[in-house]
Structures are given as C-alpha cells and as structure tokens.
Amino acid sequence: MHILITGGAGFIGSYLAEALLNKGDHVTIIDNLSTGSLDNLGSIGNNDRFEFIYGNILEIPALEYLVTKSDMVYHLAAAVGVEMVVKNPVLTIQTNVKGTERVLEAANITKTRVLLTSTSEVYGKSTKQTFSEEDDLLIGSPSHSRWSYASSKLLDEFYCTSYYRETGLPVNVVRLFNTVGPRQTGKYGMVLPRFVKSALEEKPLFVYGTGKQSRCFCHVNDTVSALLGFLEVGSFGEIYNIGSQESCTIEDLAKKVIKLTGSISPIEYVPYDKAYAPGFEDMLHRAPKIEKIGKLLNWKPKHTLDRIIRDVAEYYRKQ
C-alpha cells in the first residue's frame, strides 16, 4: 500500500512511518518542520520506499496529487501543545481547520481512505471521570484561547463525519488521550517529557495548577498499534478513543518521575495564570472509555505508566 502521512515528521507520525515501512508499505510524509524534526526520521531516511516532502499543509500545491495517488491518508498535521495554542490561536484554527478541509477535498476525488487524529481536548470542561465517544461535549468560552484548539479539532470531526454521510468518503476519527514516549519534546508544554528531563537534570518539576488534575498516558507504540489497525477495517464514519485507562494526577506523576529516575528534584507549583494566561481553564479529569475501539480492533494498551517513564528517561539519558 502507499500511505500518506501529513505531519509525519512529528512525534507520533515518525513512529507510524517506521511501523508502516517495517510492514512493507510505501510511505510519503508532508511536513513543514514547524514542530516536527528530520531527526525523528533518521532511521528511515534512506529507505527506498520512503519519500519526504517539505511543505505547509495549507499551501502545498501537490497535496491533491499526493492524496489521490495514496491508498490511505493519516492526517496528523495540526497545531501542537497547550503553550502554542494559547499563544497562537489564529494559527491553530487555520492549521487545523483549513488543513483538514484541503485533505478531505482531495480525498473525496478518488474516495481515498482518511484517518483523522483528533484529541481528548474536544471533551472540554465536562466533569465526568471517563469519556465515551457518544458523550456530549462542553467547550469553554471563546474569551479563553485555550479552547480554540478543541473547537478547531471538533470542527475537523464534523467535517469528516459530514463528508462520510454526504459523499460516502471512507473516513474515521480517533481521539488521542495524551500519547507519550521517547522522542516527544516538552518544548510545547507536554508534561511527561518536561518532567523527566527536569528530573534527570536535578531541576525543579513545575506542576501547573493544583496538581490534582488527572490524566491517562498512552505509550506511542500502543497508539501506533491502534492506528495501524485502521488499515484493515471496513467500517467508516465513526469516532474512536485511543488511550490508556491508568489514571494519574499530575502531582503524583511528578512524584513518580522523581522516584523512578532517582532524582532529588523538588516539586514547585505554578498557578495557571502564570504558566499560560489569565483565566486559563483546565479539565479536572480526562480518561477514555476504549470499549469501542477494543471491539473494532481487539486493541488495548500494553505499556504501564512506570514503563513509559523508564523508556522516556532512557531516551533522554542517551541524548
């Protein structure tokens, strides 16, 4: 098969490209390297079944050709990280919405299969403990730029499901819950690599807010395993959660990272207003229900949080 990955030089995309090449597929990546890196593609750069194209998903003239010649598109290109979203809300909306619009328009010409990676952020400010794909969504006010990301990805989801209903485009959506692992950078606010790097350097671990907010962290290899499963499905127009069900507060995550790395780093608490922006809002809990994807793909995550932390720490030690 010939697979196109938009945003493929990023953290998740690079692992997905490696996995696809390992199973014998041809892979083309489009990336403008704004948050991705050629270093992520170091192990596959010389593979004769791999092609890298530098370009912005919003502008690249060859997008229609690249989509229509592919058997499937993994659309990963998007704005990345809370810090970037808060500081650049216009770019966030443009990248997420217009980029997806271009991909879907091209795919609809030849009915090329598309898998859109969305986000658990779309669940918004709901106070539920766990989230199902059929749950109502509670997005915050437009006065807080943080919700521009969730809103733009939600519009992407509506685009996908609308194309399926109206034109029969074979498209599915996955909502990713905190995918983490080696090669992920903390540069854009990702908490786990930021904690591990600080712990290894014996620097303070900065916990934003009270630290009582809880998250589930899914190893990138588990996420990629699920993404690969969509190559074989014949069911379209659906939304699926992908994530771990091992929940941990951010405060406990910091303590766990310090313990597993043998660090003596202190933990310091930083109010949201200082970490991001005045009036910043966050979800207290975010854990997925994964029965739907489990039934479709017979998938569930295999890596524990302890294993993830050790893998990330080993990666940074080698750096």
Q: Which residues form the catalytic set?
A: 149
Q: Are strands 267-270 and 113-119 parallel, antiparallel or unpaired?
A: unpaired
Three-class SS string for 197-248? HHHHCCCCEEEECCCCCEEECEEHHHHHHHHHHCCCCCCCCCEEEECCCCEE
DSSP at 121: G
DSSP H or E stretch at residue 194: helix 191-200
User: How many residues in the chain?
Assistant: 319
Distances (CA, A) of 181 to 35, 223, 306: 16, 10, 11
How many Å apart are CA 90 and CA 92, to the nearest integer?
Answer: 5
Q: How far is CA 185 from CA 18, 189, 231, in A?
A: 18, 8, 28
9-26: b (≥16 Cβ within 10 Å) or e: bbbbbbbbbbbbbeeebb
The span from the CA of 146 to the CA of 212, in Å, is: 19
Give the span between the Cα atoms of 249 and 252, in whole angstroms.
5
N- to C-terminal Cα distance for the chain?
34
According to DSSP, residue 111 is labeled T
Cβ contact 157:122 at 8 Å: yes
Interstrand relation of 239-242 and 179-180 (parallel, antiparallel or unpaired) = unpaired
- Residue 94 DSSP code: I
